[in-house]
Amino acid sequence: MTVFIDSNVIIALLNSRDKNHDRSRELLTRLKDSDIGMRVTIDYVLNEVVTTLWMHTHRKKIVTNAYNLICNTPNFIRFEHVTPSILDVAWKKWQQLTIWPQRPLSFTDCCILSFIEKHKIDHLATFDSDFDGLVSIL
């Protein structure tokens, strides 16, 4: 079984002032210590994490920790890249699913959905309710 980790979970983990900080720690501890399996994320999520942490904290150390956690800690998370075929499906999903304001999915969200679908990933770890009803959320 595989779990996709969304940006808001990592952001909350590394930013102690984030309202979901404790939830993120508990969730990631549960995922790490259980038999749920591998955790995975993509380059688009890395972009969101680095940008958001920099904008909210202005602390290079936290941003560097995020980058290293995602890109250089394969025993914690497998880091993958979005391929052109995933982009094509993501664009179609964005055009089909995004309805403002009922479902304000970002293009990154659609890349996540496409990646999950292509790689048959079981669950999404997120605090984003925009994914409700689209995938199995932890």
CATH code where residue 122 lies = 3.40.50.1010
Residue 137 lies inside a defined structural domain of this protein: no
What is the per-residue pLDDT for 33? 66
Is 91 domain-assigned? yes
Please tell me the distance from the alpha carbon of residue 5 to that of residue 12, in angstroms, as a whole number. Answer: 12
Predicted confidence (pLDDT) per residue in 75-121, tens digit: 889 999 999 999 999 999 998 888 777 777 899 999 999 999 999 99
Residue-number span of the structural domain to which 46 is assigned: 2-131
How many domains is the chain built from?
1
Question: Tens digit of pLDDT for each residue in 39-55?
Answer: 999 999 999 999 999 99
82 in a structural domain: yes
Predicted model pTM: 0.89
Peptide bond into 101 cis (omega under 30): yes
Asked if residue 99 is part of any domain, the answer here is yes
CA-CA distance, 25 to 29, in Å (whole number)? 6
* Between 130 and 9, the higher pLDDT residue: 9
